[in-house]
Amino acid sequence: MCGIVGYIGKRKAYPILIKGLKRLEYRGYDSAGVALISDNQQLNVYKTKGKVSELENFVTQKDISGTIGIAHTRWATHGEPCSANAHPHYSSSEKLALIHNGIIENYAVLKEKLQAKGYIFKSSTDTEVLVQLIEYMKVTNQVSLLAAVQLALGEVIGAYAIAVLDKEHPDEIIAARKSSPLVVGIGEDEFFLASDATPIVEYTDKVVYLEDG
């Protein structure tokens, strides 16, 4: 199990994301991370091995601005617990960042194909394959992030709840799930995303449990 939290709206995302990760700590994890699109349009990823409190220490002095972000607590299945393997993972261009709960069973085959096309991997996770494949689909087919995610997930065998940020589209988080839980909270001009409703209920009672797909 791991934890996913996302926020898009008018408030500062970082405090909501950290509070949400703490609410999901009961699920167990070995590392934690956050991705934010900052007020000056940078896609910042911060991640560490260890507790959410260690992530908070790590981001001291860093730019944690932004009203859109995703955050993750990892329970390692592929690759040791370390900061390189912690989520979020950047795509090669560092324009996309992705968090994932679950297991990509055919990651090795997909990774080999992407490496043959020149993609460089920085972690030993199954997850990094997803973000690279999404970028590959987006660039080669010249499609939106949503379409690229749909194309990439069509190639994937496994279980996932994912959330993706695109630096060039600071007005959207693309999320999907199959066999791993994901919940959307609908506020006033704001949306929340989480593995269960506990990070969301203090902000809104409009909670949608996404169906498997």
Q: What does the alpha-carbon distance between residue 185 and residue 196 come to, in Å, rounded to a whole number?
A: 10
Nearer of residues 74 and 203 to ligand GLU, judged by Cβ:
74
**Where does this chain bind ligand GLU (CB under 6 A)?**
2, 74-79, 85, 100-103, 125-127
d(CA 126, CA 149): 16
Question: Which of 58, 75 has the CB closer to ligand GLU?
Answer: 75
* Residue of closest CB approach to ligand GLU: 2
Q: Smallest gap, in angstroms, from Cβ of residue 205 to ligand GLU?
A: 28
In the bound state with ligand GLU, the residue whose beta carbon lies nearer, of 48 and 101, is: 101
Distance CA 141, CA 134 (A): 11
> Least distance to ligand GLU from the beta carbon of 58, Å?
18
Of 92 and 195, the one with the shorter C-beta distance to ligand GLU is: 195
Other Cβ atoms within 10 Å of 15 Cβ, number: 11
Q: How far apart are CA 24 and CA 104, in angstroms?
A: 22
Question: Which CB atom, from 67 or from 73, has the smaller least distance to ligand GLU?
Answer: 73
In the complex, least distance from residue 67 CB atom to ligand GLU, rounded to whole angstroms? 26
Q: Residue 23 or residue 100: which is nearer to ligand GLU going by CB?
A: 100
Q: Minimal distance in Å, beta carbon 147 to ligand GLU? A: 24
Spatial neighbors of 150 by CB under 8 A, at least 6 apart, are none
Q: How far is the CB of 35 from ligand GLU (least distance, A)?
A: 15
Residue written as token pair 């449990």: 209
What lies within 8 Å, CB to CB, of 60 at 6+ separation is none
Q: At closest approach, how far in Å is the CB of 191 from ligand GLU?
A: 22
